[in-house]
Structure 1
Amino acid sequence: MQTLLHFQDILLHSVTNEFRRYLHDKINWNQHMIGIKGPRGAGKTTLLLQHLKYGLGPIKENALYITADHTWFYNHTLLDTAMEWYQQGGLVLLIDEVHKYPNWSRELKNIYDGIPQLKVIFSASSALDIYRGQADLSRRVISYTLAGLSLREYLMFTGTANFPAISLQDIKNHHREITLDITSKIRPLSRFAKYLQIGYLPIFTEGESEYLPKLEQVINAVVDTDLAYIASYNSGTAAKVKKLLGVIAESAPFKPNISALAGKLDISRDRILEYVYQLSDARLLNVLSVQGKGVSRLQKPDKIFLENTNLSYAIHTQPDPGNIRETFMLNQLINAELQVSEPETGDFLVNDIHVEVGGKNKTSKQVRNTDTYLIAADDIETGFGTKVPLWLFGFLY
């Protein structure tokens, strides 16, 4: 146990409280068992360590951070570790990357049921379905998802400016006043352009020139490691999934022809759909369907996007500006936990609002016959009427 405490002390030494992700204040930290999912590099580990160092108050000394791929688990089980920590006076156990531990769900259930006085907070890959493990955790764990940085958070993280999050209704009704206030303090367009390329994951602080190569490593790690643990991928399966991702990335966002993809990659139609949804679960893709359409994973999505714009720049040196705009919009809407679907007219239907995305000269031609619409226009600082600056949607969370 001393080995784990020493490992924790080393990690905590470099943890600061200067910047907290948006999710921190949304989590009910008093829950008995909490699960935090999210893409690699989004800051899950930092979130856990910040809570341990700054959020636990006097019981900090009774909290233990462990990572599920630590060598400690070569000859210890998760359940035994939790029991030993509790017997030594432990009250909180934080488990990082729980998906890398075999039988994680069964042992978490045993900990929940057998040590009710011990609070457990764990992180996991986006691809992990917490409620479909070998043991039923649906009544035991409260799950949260940590997305990549919003544009608003990127501005905070880089020390540029600190602005509050705004709602979609505020964008619809008050965007001009809001943008005039923001642009009186900063010039957003150049920072927005940089965010689209290298601002989604906090790992850009390790070096901007190394960010995109590291993002390629993240993609490989998600497929080769995370999905290998979760979906039992072998090397052959991983190679097929990467090939599918490459084919999708060449033209995303696009309306998929699953049969054509299956023929091109020599994979069955059902297998293509399985891989698409697994990549969506792993936060490498976003999928969009028509409102009211069933959510069966055997049904093809109406449109497929890369999950964030940084992926576009990692895979292509000069991605299409129109694709980047749509990818950004869907990413921010989904991360803000808004219900988004594919409309008959326009690019996105968000609640009852039709959203058309385009350049600064974009008109309302495609959506003007709908009841409620917004034009999200790129390359403008402020808008007027139903024309809203695209970058402002980066303040939704």
Structure 2
Amino acid sequence: MLKKYRKWIVYSTGISILLSIAIFVMNKQVQHEAIEYDKRHPIHMTTLQNGEVEIISEGKELYSSLINDIHKARERVYMQFFIIRYDEQTKRLLKALEEAALRGVEVKVTGDLMGSREMSLAPLSTLKEKGVVFKWSRPLHSSSIFHSIQHRNHRRIVAIDQSISYIGGFNVGNEYIGKDKKLGHWTDTHVRLVGNNIEMAQQFKMDWEEDRGETKWKDSKVKSVSFESNKETSYQFLFTTGAELEQKMVSWIKGAKEDIWIATPYFMPSDALAAEMLQAAKRGVNIKVMVPKTSDAWFTQPPGYHRMEKLMNKNITWLEYTKGFLHSKIMIIDHDFVDVGTANWDPRSLYLNDESNCLLYGQEINQRFREVYLNNEQFATRITEQDLTEKPWWVKVLGKTPKDIQYYF
């Protein structure tokens, strides 16, 4: 019997050894390059400013608002998304951008090389002729091929003229208006801000220059303007790459006194974040974590369930959203702080990707986000300790996937 399977055993062992060596080599390069990249790209936290904030939870509402603002643009439209599909929804957006460019508006668009690969099907040369300049973000580099494949521009920012900004979790495509049959209704969180957007435009500029290897920003119209409103909220943008985001999140949790409400599509916190959550719960902070029951990345769920088991505490409530797919990335702390943006609770956001978040301060905006959270909670069921212990054996096995592999989930 052993002779019969000897060849299969030898081949399997050889393949396993080769895969282990490949993963080891890749991890070493990726982690080394990530540290070096972080050193060259320190955290960028913009100055505190005031402005009007609109919360957007539906894709149709976001695209209608965005297209309307593009129609009104007079100076510039800078747009950056992680994923830009090439479908009906994207074509509507591109048409609005073309019309703006023909009016003399400066239009620049970037999509992540991996996330927006469908844009290779778009008539990019025609877009350029009409004045819409599209560039791929985070191209590959042969000298650090493993890191450049894994390191993605996960930001989603839009700066229109001098005062309108968009930032949040939505990308561009039909699935974000609920047209994906598997995922169903798409729930997300974006914000539209009316205030001075110079620093968001500058971040777009820095990313653009890095992606193109440029040192001079041609025909730039970035300048400071004053803004006054009777309905102002204090906010600032946070642009990160790597572990500095983790440090910020740890500090926010450490400062919580009453409660922390989290919504995230992927729950795979680092050891430092998990430990701080548990410490907060032990000192009496009430924590709620909402994740989707249906996921667009199923392999992230088993490690998430495993972490939930490790973090079981009477002050931590686990919720599973059931009305389609929850893609919101928000953290509400006490009654005066909200974090909303692109960063997930996973290794990619914490150690690899470029992320963009908006930090909002004040009781009024905090309450508005709480209402959004509670509305989503109506469609969520509670995850109990028994639910986790009764998960299928294969979920429990995958939940213990080595962290060196989870690093790329």
Q: TM-score, length-normalised on structure 2? A: 0.27
Higher RCO (CA < 8 A, seq sep 6+): 2
Higher helix share: 1
